[in-house]
Amino acid sequence: MNLRLVVENFMKVGPLHSTILITSSPNCLQYGVLICIRCHDYKRNDILLSSLLYALVPCHLFAAYLIELGAAQHAKGALGRLKRSDSKSNDDPIRPSRSFQATWYTIALAHGINATVCLLVTTYTVYYHIHHPLLGTICQIHAIIVWLKNCSYAFTNRDLRHAYLNPHCPSTLPELYSQCPYPRNVTISNLAYFWWAPTLVYQPIYPRSPSIRTLFIAKRLAETFGLSMFIWLASAQYAAPVLRNSLDKLQTMDLPSIIERLMKLSTISLVIWLAGFFAIFQSALNALAEIMRFGDREFYTDWWNSPSVGNYWRTWNKPVYYFMFRHIYSPLRGRGYSNVFASAMVFVFSGFLHELMVGVPTHNILGVAFLGMVVQLPMIAITAPLERMRGVNGRVVGNCIFWVSFCLVGQPLAALLYFFAWQGKYGSVRLEKG
């Protein structure tokens, strides 16, 4: 796609379309437009509700801090009572943990309620009361990120508390943690850093860079802004018309035409996705990491060379991968479950989150995003042997399978189906039915 053509088309046609905006303008509905820049006729309370949600959701992190503060005080009391007891023979090294067991499940229940309320309230509000999908998507993604951080904060402090109450057991904690041992890590400043750090896995302390490079931040922010504008232009001038022209083909189930539209949509979909990937993982996250002096900058590796579908999911989004590995896959494997079962649970959980991110803001719970993640399991099983083959032929075939499924079957099909469902509910398809 030529950038000159994008700009030229924008100058000729103007910003008639954008990515996602509900509007009741007859002019917009006449052309089946999903979003009209000139028709900001969305609900009045959308901005208010989305702003309130965005501001209030992090309060659940503060609630998690209060829960952990109470748990830390109780743990210190349990350990102190043992030291003050008459029995100083240490013949029962797990006694502190046993004395704490009465409140163990209460703490877990409090964390569970806090994290669940965070996600449920946002999901309900976005689905039923925020009618602007772009605002709804921002709120929903923000709530999911905070929910994942809440879970990681609770799980990691649980492990730290267990090690604290069982000092005689061999420690498996990283050496870095000794610089901020439990319960000294349970502070507002420590949680605030985790809140803003570009990671989903909580640690008491992170590797830090020595200084902040202002010019580096400015470059990354400029990249983020420029790519965001490019994504808006490409979506408005290329993706939206292709999606709009596909509606009649989907209504009549014209399969050859649908396949042709998918192939046409795959090009612009890939370009937009790559631009969004670079804007987020290379530009925005690096800018945030520089501001926070966050030392671990490996947000992705060379996923484009993936010799299998499984390798792609392990390399393209490292923050999410680390969360899934640390808090879902590893605990299941540690409890004796098979690799296949643990991996299946990871993708089922990921599919649930993807459906929340896509279906809730568009007010269409289709299950397409969920099934798209679950279907990755057989794709991983098919391409895994290719990755292990000697020589390059197997890896090349695996990489080709990944790119074909990624470009043709994945994102374009999902975008087409959700767009059609949206139009059936709010746009031109609904008008034609009426």
Numbers of helices and strands, H then E, in the chain: 21, 0
The active-site residue out of 131, 327, 354, 363 is: 354
Q: Which residues partner with 294 through β-bridges?
A: 208
Q: Using CA atoms in the order 295, 299, 305, 311, what is the torsion angle rounded to 10 degrees?
A: 110
- Cα distances (Å, whole numbers) of residue 332 to 160, 282, 341, 343: 19, 32, 8, 9
C-alpha angle 136/326/114, rounded to 5°? 45
| Alpha helices, H only, 166-210 | 188-196
DSSP H/E element including 348: helix 339-359
Burial of 426 (0-12, 13-18, 19+ CB in 10 A): buried
CA angle, residues 342, 343, 348, in degrees to nearest 5 = 100
Residue keyed to tokens 């890590």 = 185
Distance CA 106, CA 67 (A): 10
427 φψ region: left (φ > 0), alpha (ψ -120 to 50), beta (else): beta
Instruction: Please give the C-alpha separations between residue 267 and each of 306, 388, 408, in angstroms, as whole numbers.
Output: 20, 30, 9
Strand partners, 208: 294
Closest CA to 186 of 208, 168, 166, 164: 164
Tokens of 299: 């947000």
**Hey, how many other C-beta atoms are within 10 angstroms of the C-beta on 280?**
18
Q: Quick check: is 354 catalytic? A: yes
The closest alpha carbon to 398, from 420, 417, 414, 382, belongs to 382
Q: Which residues are catalytic?
A: 354
